[in-house]
A and B are shown apart, each in its own frame.
Chain A
Amino acid sequence: MLDYLLTEEQIMVRDLARKVAREKALPKRAEWDETGEFPWEALKAFSDADLCGLYIPEELGGFGQSVFNFCLATEEISRVCGGVGVTFAASALGSTPILLFGTDEQKKKYMPPIAKGTKLAAFGLTEANAGSDAAGIETVAKKDGDYFIINGTKQWITNGGEAETYTVIAMTDKSKGPRGATAFIVEKGTPGFTFGKKENKMGIRCSATRELVFQDCKVHKSQVLGREGMGFIVAMKTLDLTRPGIGAQAVGIAQGALDEAIKYARERVQFGKPISSLQAIQHMLADMATSVEAARALVYATARMIDAGHKDYTLPASEAKLFASDTAMKVTIDAIQVLGGYGYMKEYPVEKMARDAKITQIYEGTNQIQRNQIGLALIKESAQKK
Chain B
Amino acid sequence: MDIIVCIKQVPDTTEVKINPETNTLIREGVPSIINPFDENAVEAALVLKEKHGGKVTVITMGPPQAAEALKATIAMGADEMVLVSDRAFAGSDTWATSYTLSQAIKKLGNFDLILCGKQAIDGDTAQVGPGIAEWLGIPQVTFAVKLEADPANKKVKVERMLEEINEIVEAPFPCVVTAVKQMNIPRLPSLKGMMRAKKAEVKILSAQDIEADPKNLGLNGSPTSVVRIFTPPPRGGGEVLTGEAGEIVGKLIGKIKDRKII
Contact = CB atoms under 8 A, between A and B. Distances in A.
Interface in B173-213: 187-195, 198
B222 to A, nearest CB: 37
A50 B192 CA distance: 7
Contacts of A49: 188-191
Interface in A11-46: 12-13, 16, 19-20, 23, 45
B187 A16 contact: no
Chain B binding surface, main DSSP class: helix
A257 B212 CA distance: 57
Contacts of B190: 16, 48-50
Interface residues on B, range: 10 to 19
Nearest to A63: B191
B192 A48 contact: no
15 contacts: A12-B191, A12-B194, A12-B195, A13-B191, A16-B190, A16-B191, A19-B188, A20-B188, A48-B190, A49-B188, A49-B189, A50-B191, A50-B192, A50-B193, A63-B192
A58 to B, nearest CB: 10
A343 to B, nearest CB: 29
A376 B242 CA distance: 94
Contacts of B191: 12-13, 16, 49-51, 63
A49 B198 CA distance: 16
Of all A-B residue pairs in the complex, the 4 with the closest CB atoms, nearest first, are A50-B191, A50-B190, A50-B192, A49-B190
Nearest to B194: A12
A345 B189 CA distance: 35
Nearest to B197: A12
Contacts, number: 29
Contacts of B198: 8
Given A16-B190, A49-B188, 13 more contacts: A9-B195, A12-B194, A13-B191, A16-B188, A20-B188, A45-B188, A48-B187, A49-B189, A49-B190, A50-B192, A50-B193, A63-B191, A63-B192
Interface residues on A, range: 10 to 19
Contacts of B189: 16, 49
Interface of A: 8-9, 12-13, 16, 19-20, 23, 45, 48-51, 63
A45 B187 CA distance: 9
A323 B81 CA distance: 48
Contacts of A63: 191-192
A51 B193 CA distance: 12
B188 A23 contact: yes
B156 to A, nearest CB: 26
Contacts of A16: 188-191, 194
Contacts of A13: 191
A23 B192 CA distance: 19
A63 B188 CA distance: 18
Contacts of A8: 198
B220 to A, nearest CB: 42
A13 B192 CA distance: 10
Contacts of B188: 16, 19-20, 23, 45, 48-49
A241 B192 CA distance: 25
A65 to B, nearest CB: 14
Nearest to A23: B188
Contacts of A20: 188
A50 B187 CA distance: 13
Contacts of A19: 188
A50 B196 CA distance: 13
A13 to B, nearest CB: 7
A13 B194 CA distance: 10
A63 B191 CA distance: 9
Nearest to B192: A50
